[in-house]
Structure 1
Amino acid sequence: MLSRVRAVSGATPRLPRLTGSRSAFSSTRAARSYDVTLRNLKIGKHTRVIFQGFTGRQATANAKESIEWGTNIVGGVTPGREDEHLGRPVLPSAMEVLKPDATGIYVAAHQATAAIEEAIEAEVPLIVAVAEHIPVHDFLRIHSMLRTQSKSRVVGANSPGIISSVGKCRIGFQPLPCFAPGKIGIVARSGTLSYETAASTLRSGLGQSMCIGVGGDILPGTTLVDGLKILAEDDDTEGIALVGEIGGNTELEAADWIRQYRASTKNPKPIVAIVGGINAVPGRIMGHAGAFALPGEPTAAEKVDALKAAGATIINHPSRFGSALKTLLDGTKPSGHGVASNGNPPLSRGMHTYARRPQPPRSTESAQRGMCQRRTLYLTQQTALDLLQVRGISVREGFTGATERLLAVTINRTSRNPCIIASPTGDARDGKTFDFDYNKGAADLPIGDIARALGLNTTGTVSLDSFRKLVMELTTLFAEKEAFLLETWVMETSDASGGLAASRARFGFDDAAYRSCQRQGDIHALRDVASEDRHEVAVERDGIVYVKLPDPGGNIGTLVNGAGLAMNTVDALADAGGRAANFLDTGGKATSETVKKSFEVILTDPRVKCIFVNIFGGLTLGDMIARGVVLAFKDLHMTVPVVVRIRGTNEEEGQRIIAESGLPLYAFDDFDEAAEKAIELANQA
């Protein structure tokens, strides 16, 4: 392995700079605040919209729907073309001619960064990036641009878009049957959960004012707090639905904002919230690129506690948003199963205690196994230490008798900068954070302050020069190889290593850089597939994210379309007394084939006694999924009972297909009834 690592140890050129001139961002513009662009989120009938990548298949389909719905799409951009599409002009560069108020970025991930930069430089007020798998280091550079200007606001990446039901303006791919003019504002990290939230408000007769899908990426251009601020000021919004999930601090920031808002406002709008990932596996990526906790970040359960303490009403399933908000708007406090507000007891004991199980030591090989998802590549500890060793860092693996201190290079999601975390105890929550500018690198970092934060004795055994070398090598590796997390546990030594050596390491790299842009092939080649769960790896090529949950008592297989809904399904099952055996996201556009592949991988787990299919038919049609379930059941000669909950588009037809199949399939539209049946069947087996 060391010889393989040596091939990537040398310095490599910095990532390509974004295309286009950067001279427009002068020092005077740098003094202006990105925050003033919040007003650009207020879209409506007045908004002139263009699409970049206008003639592509997805853009064409979304544009047709949006135009018919009333969106003022005035044209689009496709390089090398100058004609018409959907009765609108197509230009190779349309910004100056069409003067848009907003643009939808409908190009592939490897082209999206340049398209966003083009829009920023043209000072387009609102830029909506729907693409998944934009490399995280590309977005670090985008944020360094956004901070220097006050004209453009970005929503996304990995966003379903932004939609004004009142203003009939849709920039994205939200399923229009779920949306109708009304009084509820939605701000959400999860696309699928936001669709079910919208449908729930529609069923309750409330409808929506606006829905802001901030997206599931690590570094979104717009946050939950940004969305709350806009919805709180919006005259059409009377109540707010907030959809969060594991990863980052944005829900805690939202809780702080809600507390201040309620304290300073005479008649604050009611806020109902949900947070997905309470039962997420520590260290795993739960579908969305940003759905995992970096060192020092809170758990989903801690986010729930903070939001509840701030005065938000907490629910455990998106289907409850409508009834909870309607009750609050009527002036009473919602209650019952799956609802908790400040002063009420927790949703259930299992919901919180199960989530707070002890986390396994992150340094062990077992904790490294199976860590690769669609957006990440974790190296084994040995490979990580080899990378340090070939860069001239002393390694003392397995050494005992010395205090281990944590030195990490990662991303501060709040400031949207790379940062150093230094902890004298080895636990990130006991450490201090030191941000640094992505473009300038770590040259200006206060090395002495970082050493003191670690508790190092730089006037004695540890050479400050050796510590500086370690920091510089880590930050260089972070930038050159597009890491999102480099954790190194260091200790003081008494040998000729400069008094400092690494004892353990955990390195995570952004796999999107390789898959989307064909960068970092050398790092990607270090992936040790043999150390991962072969079933999880096998379905990656089908776009399925499958995570086997460690609970030995988990006996319900879950099959869900959408990462946020998949996290919530596991959580809500636990709250109902069930125990999921897996997390499985078929993707937001599940097909009959992916349903079959999903059943196959779920059935490889002998713990599974019942399969719970939870589908919200937003982008996915309910009847198509139902046919896929029936065909898969027959083709695979399944004997395990299957409970199918279908809501959304074509839900009645889907339920009919399941009910009339003549197979041991159980169709429901209510989540609680479906969960109760799945738990019953699993426990009977």
Structure 2
Amino acid sequence: MLSNRCVRLSTFRKASHSYQHVARAAFSSTSPCQSYDDTIGNLKIGKDTRVIFQGFTGRQATANAQESIAWGTKIVGGVRPGKSGEHLGLPVLPTVKAAMDELKPDATGIYVAAHQAVGAIEEAIEAEIPLIVVVAEHIPLHDMLRVHSILKTQSKSRLVGANAPGIISSIGHCRIGFQPLPCFLEGHVGVVAKSGTLSYETVGGLTRAGVGQSLVISVGGDVIAGTDFVDALKLFENDDETQGIIMCGELGGRAEEEAAAWIKDYHKRTKDPKPIAALIGGIHARPRTVMGHAGAWSAPGESSAAQKYKILEDAGVTMVNHPAKFGNVMKGLLANSGRLVDTPQKSAASQSRGFHTLRRLPRSSPTSTQSQQRRGLHLRADQATALLAKSGFTVTPSPSTPISESRLLSMTVDRSARSPCIIASPTANPDTIYQRSRHFPFDYRNGPTQSEMSAILAHAELDAVPPAVKAQAANLILKLFDLFKAEEGVALTVNVAVSPSGDGIEIFNPDFSFDDAAFRSTKRHPELHAMRDLSVEDPVEVSAEQHGIVYWKLSTPDDKSANVGTLVNGAGLAMNTVDALADLGGKAANFLDTGGKATSETVKQSFELILQDPRVKVIFVNIFGGLTLGDMIARGVVLAFKELNMPVPVVVRIRGTNEKEGQKIIAESGLDLFAFDDFEDAARKVMELAEKGMKG
């Protein structure tokens, strides 16, 4: 049975873990009971944090544990279901509860496959482990909705992830995740990011500028995250070790807007606020497309990435367009604020030069007005119509009501509430949905209450219609939720209007998406996913998917100005590469995320995909070597270049682990390859070669 006991975080393990106690005390409450929000202090990890691993004896967990222990992380043991013993000289327990009782951990890192992860999370919550870090990708969305419905009932455990590289304290040498350790430097800048690769680039840029980090939290790129930007900002505000703050956001959800509102309030109530800088990825993302991360898509009425950029800037945040700029920017902000500026452990003079600190406003990007973004399985309109028919609803192929006079209802996910919601708008006019739509979250287990239903109908201006019409609209919402839950939907969107006769509703423009992770990770709903129509999809994009690569064309074939092929490891960095290239006057023909697996084989496959676009005159490889070493990546590029007899030049920027070795391999290859360290230098070379290719 899960415990719902109310506890004071300020008294939690205070005798043996003083490092965490300071932060947790800042979130203690005099109220008789606490909630999930009061577990924010559990994020404050450090040298005294006791860590266990679930899936401890697995290959990846073993390698990660060895590296983390050598760095200084206090790993005290782990769990292997049903087994006891010893591993790496540390105890192995058969259950998380046994590990909690015997080892007294402050945190657990869950290193199991996606289909096992939810059970592991629930076991950790039941054992009341204070911090739970989940790195697995492709955990089904509805499994996580169930997890969050549990988390809301307790006040002991805080979740980071899923689909996140984890959390790391540079000061305390505590790593729970798989961040590349050579990039980190002890210091006083806190970082929170959706994207793992953007967080690595950010940390690398800070370290190169001689600016160390206090705590780096990667919240993950899934639709809903256990910890969000505002949670991290609250922690950083109360953390004396953190003197400056950096955020890396992207399109999708409202977390960045909520962070901007929090920052505005923080500036009003604080005499000497800590400086904050931020970046937003996905400004030039392809509309109606999931950009690599499961959560990188916008629901109806949500802000575009460009709008988020402006909202944060208006809140007083210093904005940059590439993570390598954060180093010099934050150094300047800290100096101007009179706050502590780090003295690096090693001279920054040995590091290559950073970026210019000039901030550039992004080019305008259209507001997200489509009924939903494409994620996983996206049904054709006739297939969505058939599903509605099974629930007793008829779709009108040619509605009598103009779109401007119809309503929009979307059964989807409220990422902030970490629950399902209905997005309602009294108009489906794409020009005004952003201003008039509103989220109505409700409990995943029970569906919308009567009062919540009344609020939805009132906002959609369906409360004053005849009783029969109102009843039909309410029934439609309930049936959409039933379908959403039963078939594991992501977004089920319809337009609704009162019929001309006034005695019912018309339903039209159904737009349905379902979670592909539910099928890929657990093989649920095979009949539904068998409905996928590959004939309407781009064959090159489908081929990329079969290789585990995310590849999207970014413009129509007749747009010859899109002549740069991009190859990047990591969705966040891939989005940012497209954006930053555009700011310098270039135009990418594609988005390509190798998925963090930039091996020689994936590089070759990626080149083959990119070269199928005849517009491409040059390929820009932008890789941050984390788990994959820079020299190994460089050898893969050289091998692929030779095997494919590349018809276009390739510009390679390698940063991160073994970056110098990788750059040397490229420079000395004798091939039509160009090695760079600085992004802007590399991008300008890309544009020079693209222009030359167009003339040739």
TM-score normalised by length of structure 2: 0.89
Amino acid at match of 1:168: H
Distance verdict in 2 for CA 1:676–1:173, change over 3 Å: same
Q: CA deviation at 1:523?
A: 1.6
The answer to whether the 8 A contact 2:275-2:337 is kept is no
Q: CA deviation at 1:495?
A: 6.3
Q: CA deviation at 1:431?
A: 2.7
Distance verdict in 2 for CA 1:394–1:96, change over 3 Å: same
Measured in 1, the distance between the counterparts of 2:445 and 2:463 equals: 31
Counterpart of 1:541 (choices 542, 546, 570) is 546
The answer to whether the 8 A contact 1:462-1:492 is kept is no
The answer to whether the 8 A contact 1:409-1:421 is kept is yes
> Is the aligned partner of 1:328 residue 2:333?
yes
Aligned residue number for residue 298 of structure 2: 293
Aligned residue number for residue 15 of structure 1: none
Aligned residue number for residue 419 of structure 1: 421
Measured in 2, the distance between the counterparts of 1:173 and 1:89 equals: 22
> Is the aligned partner of 1:433 residue 2:439?
yes
> Is the aligned partner of 1:603 residue 2:611?
yes
Aligned residue number for residue 393 of structure 1: 393
Aligned residue number for residue 534 of structure 2: 529
Q: Deviations along 1:149-198, whole A, 9 cap, x unmatched?
A: 11110011111111111111110000000012112211111101111111
Equivalent pairs, count: 643
The answer to whether the 8 A contact 1:261-1:268 is kept is yes
Measured in 1, the distance between the counterparts of 2:266 and 2:519 equals: 43
Q: Deviations along 1:303-340, whole A, 9 cap, x unmatched?
A: 1111111111111111111111111122189x995633
Q: CA deviation at 1:406?
A: 0.8
Distance verdict in 2 for CA 1:211–1:566, change over 3 Å: same
Aligned residue number for residue 563 of structure 2: 555
Q: Deviations along 1:445-467, whole A, 9 cap, x unmatched?
A: 54444333323376449533322
Corresponding residue SS for 1:677: helix
What are the equivalent positions in structure 2 for 1:334-373 lying under 5 Å apart? Answer: 339-340=358-359, 347-348=360-361, 351-353=362-364, 355-356=365-366, 362=370, 371=374
Q: Deviations along 1:643-670, whole A, 9 cap, x unmatched?
A: 1111111111111111111111111010
Measured in 1, the distance between the counterparts of 2:640 and 2:285 equals: 28
Aligned residue number for residue 88 of structure 2: 86
Q: CA deviation at 1:491?
A: 2.2
Corresponding residue SS for 2:450: coil
Measured in 1, the distance between the counterparts of 2:689 and 2:181 equals: 35
Q: CA deviation at 1:257?
A: 1.6
Distance verdict in 2 for CA 1:447–1:49, change over 3 Å: closer
The answer to whether the 8 A contact 1:103-1:128 is kept is yes
Aligned residue number for residue 177 of structure 2: 172
Q: CA deviation at 1:543?
A: 1.4
Corresponding residue SS for 1:501: strand
> Is the aligned partner of 1:63 residue 2:65?
yes
Aligned residue number for residue 407 of structure 1: 409
> Is the aligned partner of 1:565 residue 2:573?
yes
Measured in 2, the distance between the counterparts of 1:117 and 1:509 equals: 24
Distance verdict in 2 for CA 1:99–1:380, change over 3 Å: same
Aligned residue number for residue 622 of structure 1: 630
Amino acid at match of 1:385: T
Q: Deviations along 1:568-622, whole A, 9 cap, x unmatched?
A: 0000000000001111000123211000110111111111111100011112211
Measured in 2, the distance between the counterparts of 1:432 and 1:191 equals: 30
Distance verdict in 2 for CA 1:53–1:462, change over 3 Å: same
Q: Deviations along 1:383-407, whole A, 9 cap, x unmatched?
A: 1112112221021113344433211
Aligned residue number for residue 345 of structure 2: none
Aligned residue number for residue 210 of structure 1: 215
> Is the aligned partner of 1:456 residue 2:462?
yes
> Is the aligned partner of 1:578 residue 2:580?
no
Aligned residue number for residue 11 of structure 1: none
Q: CA deviation at 1:469?
A: 2.3
The answer to whether the 8 A contact 1:394-1:500 is kept is no
The answer to whether the 8 A contact 1:611-1:642 is kept is yes
Corresponding residue SS for 1:681: helix
Measured in 2, the distance between the counterparts of 1:182 and 1:673 equals: 29
Q: CA deviation at 1:90?
A: 0.7
Measured in 1, the distance between the counterparts of 2:584 and 2:481 equals: 45
Measured in 2, the distance between the counterparts of 1:69 and 1:337 equals: 33
> Is the aligned partner of 1:77 residue 2:89?
no
Counterpart of 2:492 (choices 473, 486, 489) is 486
Measured in 1, the distance between the counterparts of 2:447 and 2:603 equals: 45
Measured in 2, the distance between the counterparts of 1:446 and 1:623 equals: 56
The answer to whether the 8 A contact 2:328-2:355 is kept is no
Q: CA deviation at 1:642?
A: 0.7
Distance verdict in 2 for CA 1:332–1:148, change over 3 Å: closer
What are the equivalent positions in structure 2 for 1:303-318 lying under 5 Å apart? Answer: 303-318=308-323
Measured in 1, the distance between the counterparts of 2:638 and 2:391 equals: 55
Amino acid at match of 2:104: K
Measured in 1, the distance between the counterparts of 2:455 and 2:449 equals: 14
Query: Greater CA deviation, 171-180 or 91-100?
Result: 91-100
The answer to whether the 8 A contact 1:461-1:494 is kept is no
> Is the aligned partner of 1:280 residue 2:285?
yes
Measured in 2, the distance between the counterparts of 1:680 and 1:155 equals: 43
The answer to whether the 8 A contact 2:355-2:680 is kept is no
Measured in 2, the distance between the counterparts of 1:39 and 1:28 equals: 13
CA RMSD for the aligned pairs?
2.2
Aligned residue number for residue 43 of structure 1: 45
> Is the aligned partner of 1:518 residue 2:518?
no
Distance verdict in 2 for CA 1:449–1:187, change over 3 Å: closer
Measured in 2, the distance between the counterparts of 1:31 and 1:247 equals: 33
Amino acid at match of 2:180: P
Corresponding residue SS for 1:626: helix
TM-score normalised by length of structure 1: 0.90
Amino acid at match of 2:398: G
For structure 1, the residue ranges without an aligned partner over 5 or more in a row are 1-20, 341-346
Measured in 2, the distance between the counterparts of 1:167 and 1:441 equals: 43
Q: CA deviation at 1:417?
A: 1.6
Corresponding residue SS for 1:157: coil
Distance verdict in 2 for CA 1:210–1:384, change over 3 Å: same
Corresponding residue SS for 1:683: helix
Measured in 2, the distance between the counterparts of 1:465 and 1:233 equals: 49
The answer to whether the 8 A contact 1:136-1:510 is kept is yes
The answer to whether the 8 A contact 1:45-1:168 is kept is yes
Q: Deviations along 1:550-577, whole A, 9 cap, x unmatched?
A: 2523110100001110000000000000
Aligned residue number for residue 150 of structure 1: 155
Q: CA deviation at 1:423?
A: 1.5
Corresponding residue SS for 1:331: helix
Corresponding residue SS for 2:299: coil
Aligned residue number for residue 24 of structure 2: none
The answer to whether the 8 A contact 1:31-1:148 is kept is no
The answer to whether the 8 A contact 1:134-1:513 is kept is yes
Distance verdict in 2 for CA 1:78–1:543, change over 3 Å: same
